[in-house]
Amino acid sequence: MGKDSIYERIKDKAAFTLSKRKLKKILTSDNIDEVLESIKRYKGRGFYDKIRLAQEHNELRDLCIRVQKHKPKVIAEIGTWNGGTFYVWTRINPLAEKIISIDLPDGDYGGGYDEKRIKFFSEFTADRRNTSLSFIRGDSKSESTLKMLMSVLGKDTIDFLYIDGDHTYEGIKKDFEIYVKLMSPDGLVGFHDINTFKDGYGVHKYWNEIKENYRHEEFIKPGSRVMGNGLIYLKKD
Ligand SMILES: C[S@@+](CC[C@H](N)C(=O)[O-])C[C@H]1O[C@@H](n2cnc3c(N)ncnc32)[C@H](O)[C@@H]1O
């Protein structure tokens, strides 16, 4: 091992320790507005400098209100990237028992997260003994990912699923078809980018095909032609 890498490791350890301290200061509330505001307030060091969020504020806020009201025990997120929405799910749901992140390293639409970031994400629930976090770095549709997910779930089903990974029409369709079978009968499924019309983004097309089959809500900033959150309620009434 060269001098530089030892130096880098010491620097990283110091950055992590300082960032952990900074993070601890913002883990104070499960109030949605305070949680969303705390992301902006957090200023870590080095590799852990920020928690990045790829969302429109009110579109996420409205989704959070429904999710928090539902009191999910088991949450799974496809597409975590820099941890923004993952942080939000961990903080607004103090009663959650399992929160699972699934993300493809170097995946499209963000690039996933380095293994090193897992220890930082794990600190999001440092104050919560009842919540266990799991990180599956792989394609949401691959056999190995699903095997790992089943092992984390055990007999549990998913109460809230957030899909923000592969944004192609085929990708989102497969994700929904596979994961809906792992959901609780009254579960909620959130979709990001139901209102993005750029090349390579097919969520809007799939969302418009399936939404009428379910009770659903759309959270879209008036006049916007980007992002947007959709929510499906699997329970019919
Ligand atoms: C837009 S980012 C997620 C942003 C995050 N939900 C937020 O708002 O803070 C999309 C993530 O999906 C991941 N991804 C892309 N294709 C995937 C796939 N097939 N399976 C799992 N994750 C995937 C990418 O690696 C990327 O990190």
Residue 2 in this model has a pLDDT that exceeds 70: no
User: Ligand 1 centre from 108 Cα, in Å?
Assistant: 7
The answer as to whether 39 is a domain residue is no
Asked if residue 182 belongs to a domain, the reply is yes
Give the pLDDT band of residue 3 (cuts 50, 70, 90): low
Looking at residue 237, its pLDDT comes to 78
Pocket of ligand 1 (CB under 6 A): 53-55, 78-81, 84-85, 102-104, 107-112, 139-140, 164-166
pLDDT in tens, 172-230: 999 999 999 999 999 999 999 999 999 999 999 999 999 999 999 999 999 999 999 99
Of ligand 1's atoms, which has the minimum distance to the CA of residue 82?
A: 9
Check pLDDT > 70 for residue 104.
Answer: yes
Residues 59 and 229: beta-carbon distance below 8 Å: yes
Distance, in Å, from the CA atom of 172 to the CA atom of 182, rounded to the nearest integer, reads: 16
Beta bridge partners of 219: 229
By alpha-carbon position, which residue is closest to atom 26 of ligand 1? 110
* Atom in ligand 1 nearest the alpha carbon of residue 55: 8
Total structural domains in the chain? 1
- At residue 97, does pLDDT exceed 70? yes
Q: Which residue has the higher pLDDT, 90 or 236?
A: 90
The range of the structural domain enclosing residue 73 comes to: 53-233
189 membership: H or E segment, kind and range: strand 183-192
| Position 139 in a domain | yes
Instruction: Judge residue 228's burial from the number of C-beta atoms within 10 Å of its C-beta, 0-12 exposed, 13-18 middle, 19 or more buried.
Output: buried
**Has residue 45 been placed in a domain?**
no
Q: CB within 8 A of 58, min separation 6: which ones? A: 219, 221
Q: What percent of the chain clears pLDDT 70, i.e. is strictly above it?
A: 98
Domain assignment present for residue 178? The answer is yes
67 contacts 92 by C-beta, under 8 angstroms? yes
pLDDT tens track for 16-47: 999 999 999 999 999 999 999 999 999 999 99
Mean pLDDT of the chain: 97
Nearest CA to ligand 1 atom 8: 54
Q: How far does the centroid of ligand 1 lie from the alpha carbon of residue 105, in Å?
A: 9
Mutation to probe ligand 1, out of 60, 88, 109, 137 (largest number of atoms < 8 A from CB): 109
| Cα angle, residue 114 at apex, residues 81 and 144 outer, rounded to 5° | 85
Nearest atom of ligand 1 to the alpha carbon of 81: 27
Collapsed DSSP state (helix, strand, coil) of residue 211: helix
State both tokens at 13. 């350890």
| Cβ contacts of 159 within 8 Å, gap of 6 or more | 70, 72, 73, 74, 75, 183, 184, 186, 187, 188
DSSP 137: E
Q: How far is the CA of 20 from the centre of ligand 1 (A)?
A: 24
What is the pLDDT at residue 1?
Answer: 46
Chain segment 149-179, per-residue pLDDT in tens: 999 999 999 999 999 999 999 999 999 999 9
Considering the domain boundaries, does residue 224 fall inside one? yes
Chain length of the chain: 237
Q: Is the pTM of this model over 0.95?
A: yes
The Å distance, Cα 73 to ligand 1 centre, comes to 22
What pLDDT, on the 0 to 100 scale, is given for residue 198? 96
Beta-carbon-side half-sphere exposure of residue 38 (alpha carbons within 13 Å): 22
Looking at the CA of residue 53, tell me the nearest atom of ligand 1: 9
Mutate to test the pocket of ligand 1, among 166, 178, 196 (most ligand atoms within 8 A of CB): 166
Q: Is residue 154 part of a domain?
A: yes
Buried b (16+ CB within 10 A) or exposed e, 76-92: bbbbbbbbbbbbbbbbb
CA of 112 to the centre of ligand 1 (A): 6
Residues 164/132, Cβ–Cβ less than 8 Å: no
Which helix (H) or strand (E) segment holds residue 4: the answer is helix 3-26
Residue 12 resides in a domain: no
Asked if residue 17 lies in contact with residue 120, where contact means CB atoms within 8 angstroms, the answer is no
Check which CATH number belongs to the domain holding 157 and give it. Answer: 3.40.50.150
If one counts every other C-beta atom within 10 angstroms of the C-beta of residue 174, the result is 15
